[in-house]
């Protein structure tokens, strides 16, 4: 190894260990040229050396990186595990301790997923910050059309919130409050502020676009009250009548012009059946409930700005105080498509295993995978409460989770797609390996090995190509021959072997192992063999299978010697 190659390798290790086990070429090149300006005369050689070093380092586990760094005399402060400050939210405007009342308002079409966990966590954090009250309101009206209520969600949502550590003080169901909404609808009609409209959807839309009042707008208060009671008594069919609020038909935003407040829906509701046929739209029910529930602060997505404007319009009509409203931008997670309606369909049709299927990204699925609620909360708070839209990589969530589970996850060997390796010049022995390289006081695991082991097929290809690998924590082996699918190898000592270059791979004995199935994030299944020590693992335990990734143990079938696990991340 040349001096430049060794320097590139050292810098790549430092960069990887300081940045969550992932080295990047550009900063490594910058470090070399900044500290060794003489290399600026041949930048191409630096780029080539760094490219090879980064590729090598990024193929290693963290333990392998730390081991190589030690061999090369590279010192990385706290092994790259930097303590980060807890992200903090800005103060709430006009907030007083003990007087803040906020609400979270899930529509029960399914459980909470990673994409909509943000408002629940933000509200919870603020209520805890100001020692206030948080109300869980199931926004289970069916006046808005489109989305379908999933009866399971009434249990799945609180389950997910509890797992996240969200604490609420009261539960409200909007489907229990229809009579309240009818009462305030009548008041608006009596004040001359609302009317029953019989326009079809196309006519309503066209009139709005042109700013034209419809023929029903000027019916008398008495006529509108009569029409409204007929709506309530199921006199009209779905789509034949709606209650609209009187705004300015010349308002700059056509969507604000005489918006619909209540409409007829003939769908059966999972909680109240067909008791009601007239349902409020979101902004009307919230305008009433935010007042009656004494809400002081509202955190909602900026996609609901029109609903916010309408709420304020209704509050002004009734002369009510306005809660403080804070809008947040949309948070997208790179590489993840989240659609609760699509997931609901896949769950119903049996294409998903259930709402715990990793493809749903629900709180139930994240728990199955071994993602911690603390990581989800930290991930959300790190984004903050800005009104700007933001796209964040899913690796940011994994980084938060890795920070929490890495110190507690014991290490084990797992070989998927196994290939047999026969060692011709070794004797049966027992090796002792620490359960965690950073916490040797935690204890050791023992692996008994005779003359045959399994390695992953991909590592077998490396052995065929490079001729030599190291069975991690055991011996170096050199390829001698091959019989069918069995590789014949000989063990070799460390003398003359550059341990910095030789590939280190996990392995399991052929005669002492346990079957392992791992459910991956895309719901595919990886099968293989784990070391026999894994037979003692318990459900919910999170471990790291070296060079494979972190996994959460789902079940341990000791009778059949088979483990089932969910893949967490690398």
| CATH code assigned at 448 | 2.40.240.10
Query: In 10 A of CB 424, how many CB atoms?
Result: 12
Instruction: Give the pLDDT confidence score for residue 69 in this predicted structure.
Output: 84
Instruction: Give the pLDDT confidence score for residue 87 in this predicted structure.
Output: 72
| Residue 369, pLDDT above cutoff 90 | yes
- Mean pLDDT, residues 455-481: 95
* Angle at which helices 373-383 and 117-129 cross, to 10°: 90
Rounded Cα distance, 416 and 418, in Å: 5
477-502 pLDDT tens trace: 999 999 988 999 999 887 777 777 88
Supply φ then ψ for residue 195, to 5 degrees. Answer: -150, 160
| Local confidence band at 22 (pLDDT 50, 70, 90 cut-offs) | confident
Instruction: Single out the residue of 237, 291, 293, 283 nearest to residue 260, CA to CA.
Output: 283
Domain count of the fold of the chain: 5
Rounded Cα distance, 21 and 253, in Å: 50
Instruction: Give the pLDDT confidence score for residue 134 in this predicted structure.
Output: 98
Shared domain for 200 and 152, answered yes or no, is no
Shared domain for 451 and 519, answered yes or no, is no
Shared domain for 537 and 549, answered yes or no, is yes
175-203 pLDDT tens trace: 999 999 999 999 999 999 999 999 999 99
Q: Decide if 69 is inside a domain.
A: yes
Q: How many percent of the chain have pLDDT more than 70?
A: 97
On whether the CB atoms of residues 480 and 468 are closer than 8 A, the answer is: no
Work out the mean pLDDT of the chain and round it to a whole number.
92
Rounded Cα distance, 311 and 436, in Å: 56
78-127 pLDDT tens trace: 443 444 556 789 999 999 999 999 999 999 999 999 989 999 999 999 99
Rounded Cα distance, 227 and 219, in Å: 10
Instruction: For residue 420, list its beta bridge partners.
Output: 454
Q: Which residues, 6+ apart, have CB-to-CB distance to 32 below 8 Å?
A: 7, 8, 11, 39, 46, 50
Instruction: Give the pLDDT confidence score for residue 144 in this predicted structure.
Output: 59
Mean pLDDT check: name the lowest of 6-20, 363-377, 473-487, 491-505.
Answer: 491-505
Shared domain for 446 and 500, answered yes or no, is yes
Shared domain for 168 and 182, answered yes or no, is no
Instruction: Give the pLDDT confidence score for residue 160 in this predicted structure.
Output: 97
Q: Decide if 90 is inside a domain.
A: no
On the CB side of 454, CA atoms within 13 Å amount to 22
514-547 pLDDT tens trace: 999 999 999 999 999 999 999 999 999 999 999 9
- Containing 33, the helix (H) or strand (E) segment is helix 25-35
Q: Decide if 294 is inside a domain.
A: no
Rounded Cα distance, 369 and 456, in Å: 23
Rounded Cα distance, 181 and 179, in Å: 5
Strands (E), 105-175: 133-138, 170-173
Residue 326 three-state SS: strand
Handedness of CA 100, 106, 111, 113 (dihedral sign): negative
Shared domain for 431 and 457, answered yes or no, is yes
Shared domain for 264 and 182, answered yes or no, is yes
On the CB side of 92, CA atoms within 13 Å amount to 28
On the CB side of 412, CA atoms within 13 Å amount to 26
On whether the CB atoms of residues 184 and 285 are closer than 8 A, the answer is: no
Instruction: For residue 104, list its beta bridge partners.
Output: 136
Range of the domain at 203: 178-280
Instruction: Give the pLDDT confidence score for residue 78 in this predicted structure.
Output: 47
Shared domain for 241 and 252, answered yes or no, is yes
CATH code of the domain containing 275:
3.90.800.10
Q: Which residues, 6+ apart, have CB-to-CB distance to 557 below 8 Å?
A: 563, 564
Q: Decide if 549 is inside a domain.
A: yes
Q: Decide if 17 is inside a domain.
A: yes
Higher pLDDT among residues 487 and 34, named by residue: 487
Instruction: Give the pLDDT confidence score for residue 81 in this predicted structure.
Output: 43
| Residue 435, pLDDT above cutoff 60 | yes
On whether the CB atoms of residues 140 and 147 are closer than 8 A, the answer is: no
The secondary structure of residue 273, as a DSSP letter, is: B
- Containing 283, the helix (H) or strand (E) segment is helix 282-292
Shared domain for 489 and 544, answered yes or no, is no
Q: Decide if 212 is inside a domain.
A: yes
| Residue 362, pLDDT above cutoff 80 | yes
On whether the CB atoms of residues 513 and 454 are closer than 8 A, the answer is: yes
- Mean pLDDT, residues 394-402: 95
On whether the CB atoms of residues 126 and 172 are closer than 8 A, the answer is: no
Would strands 297-301 and 260-264 be described as parallel, antiparallel, or unpaired?
A: unpaired
Q: Decide if 230 is inside a domain.
A: yes
Supply φ then ψ for residue 238, to 5 degrees. Answer: -55, 130
| Residue 143, pLDDT above cutoff 80 | no
Rounded Cα distance, 266 and 274, in Å: 7
* Angle at which helices 3-18 and 43-58 cross, to 10°: 50
Q: Decide if 303 is inside a domain.
A: no
- Mean pLDDT, residues 341-351: 91
Instruction: For residue 273, list its beta bridge partners.
Output: 269
Here the tokens at position 272 are 């109240």
On whether the CB atoms of residues 527 and 416 are closer than 8 A, the answer is: yes
Query: In 10 A of CB 472, how many CB atoms?
Result: 20
Please state the three-class secondary structure of 342-408 as a single string.
HHHHHHHCCCCCCCCCHHHCEHHHHHHHCCCHHHHHHHHHHHCCCCCCEEEEHHHHHHHHHHHHCCC
Shared domain for 156 and 187, answered yes or no, is no
508, 523, 546 - which closes a domain: 508
232-249 pLDDT tens trace: 999 999 999 999 999 999
Shared domain for 266 and 184, answered yes or no, is yes
CATH code of the domain containing 389:
3.40.50.620
The secondary structure of residue 269, as a DSSP letter, is: B
Q: Which residues, 6+ apart, have CB-to-CB distance to 213 below 8 Å?
A: 207, 249, 258
Rounded Cα distance, 136 and 139, in Å: 9
Rounded Cα distance, 424 and 401, in Å: 43
The secondary structure of residue 276, as a DSSP letter, is: -
Higher pLDDT among residues 67 and 85, named by residue: 67
Shared domain for 382 and 439, answered yes or no, is no
The rounded Cα 240 to chain-centroid distance in angstroms is 42
Note the residue count of the chain. Answer: 570
249, 280, 311 - which closes a domain: 280
Instruction: Give the pLDDT confidence score for residue 64 in this predicted structure.
Output: 85
């Amino acid at each position: 190894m040349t001096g430049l190659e060794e320097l590139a390798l050292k810098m790549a290790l430092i960069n990887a260990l300081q940045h969550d086990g992932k080295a990047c070429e550009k900063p490594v090149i910058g470090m070399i040229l900044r500290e060794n300006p003489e290399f600026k005369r041949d930048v191409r050689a630096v780029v080539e050396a760094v490219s090879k070093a980064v590729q090598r380092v990024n193929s290693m586990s963290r333990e392998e990186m730390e081991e190589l760094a030690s061999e090369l005399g590279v010192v990385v402060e706290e092994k790259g595990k930097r303590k980060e400050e807890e992200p903090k939210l800005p103060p709430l405007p006009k907030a007083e301790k003990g007087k803040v009342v906020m609400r979270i308002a899930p529509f029960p079409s399914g459980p909470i997923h990673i994409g909509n966990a943000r408002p629940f966590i933000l509200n919870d954090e603020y209520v805890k910050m100001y020692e206030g009250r948080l109300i869980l309101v199931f926004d289970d009206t069916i006046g808005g059309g489109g989305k379908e209520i999933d009866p399971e969600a009434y249990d799945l949502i609180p389950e997910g919130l509890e797992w996240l550590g969200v604490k609420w003080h009261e539960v409200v169901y909007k489907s229990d409050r229809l009579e309240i909404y009818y009462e305030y609808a009548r008041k608006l009609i009596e004040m001359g502020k609302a009317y029953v409209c019989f326009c079809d959807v196309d006519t309503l839309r066209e009139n709005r676009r042109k700013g034209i009042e419809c023929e029903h707008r000027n019916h008398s208060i008495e006529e509108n009250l009569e029409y409204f009671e007929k709506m309530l008594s199921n006199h009209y069919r779905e789509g034949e009548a709606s209650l609209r609020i009187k705004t300015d038909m010349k308002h700059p935003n056509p969507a604000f012009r005489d918006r619909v407040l209540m409409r007829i829906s003939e769908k059966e509701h999972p909680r109240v059946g067909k008791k009601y046929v007239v349902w409020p739209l979101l902004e009307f029910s919230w305008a009433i409930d935010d007042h009656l529930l004494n809400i002081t602060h509202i955190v909602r997505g900026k996609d609901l700005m029109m609903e916010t404007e309408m709420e304020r319009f209704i509050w002004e009509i009734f002369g009510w105080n306005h809660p403080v409203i804070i809008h947040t931008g949309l948070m997208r997670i790179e590489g993840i498509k989240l659609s609760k309606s699509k997931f609901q369909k896949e769950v119903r049709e049996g294409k998903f295993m259930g709402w715990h299927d990793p493809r749903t990204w629900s709180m139930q699925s994240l728990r199955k995978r071994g993602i911690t609620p603390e990581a989800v909360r930290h991930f959300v708070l790190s984004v903050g409460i800005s009104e700007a839209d933001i796209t964040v990589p899913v690796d940011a969530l994994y980084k938060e989770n890795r920070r929490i589970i890495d110190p507690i996850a014991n290490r084990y060997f797992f070989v998927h797609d196994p290939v047999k390796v026969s060692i011709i010049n070794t004797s049966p022995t027992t090796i002792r390996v620490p359960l965690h390289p950073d916490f040797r006081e935690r204890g050791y695991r023992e692996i008994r090995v005779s003359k045959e082991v399994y390695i992953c097929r991909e590592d077998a290809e490396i052995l065929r190509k490079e001729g030599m690998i190291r069975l991690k924590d055991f011996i170096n082996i050199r390829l001698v021959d091959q019989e069918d699918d069995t590789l014949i190898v000989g063990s070799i000592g460390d003398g003359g072997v550059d341990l910095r270059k030789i590939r280190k791979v996990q392995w399991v004995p052929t005669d002492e192992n346990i079957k392992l199935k791992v459910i991956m994030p895309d719901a595919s299944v990886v099968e293989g063999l784990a070391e026999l020590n894994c037979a003692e693992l318990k459900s919910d335990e999170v471990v790291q299978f070296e060079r494979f990734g972190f996994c959460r143990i789902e079940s341990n079938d000791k009778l059949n010697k088979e483990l089932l696990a969910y893949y967490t991340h690398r």
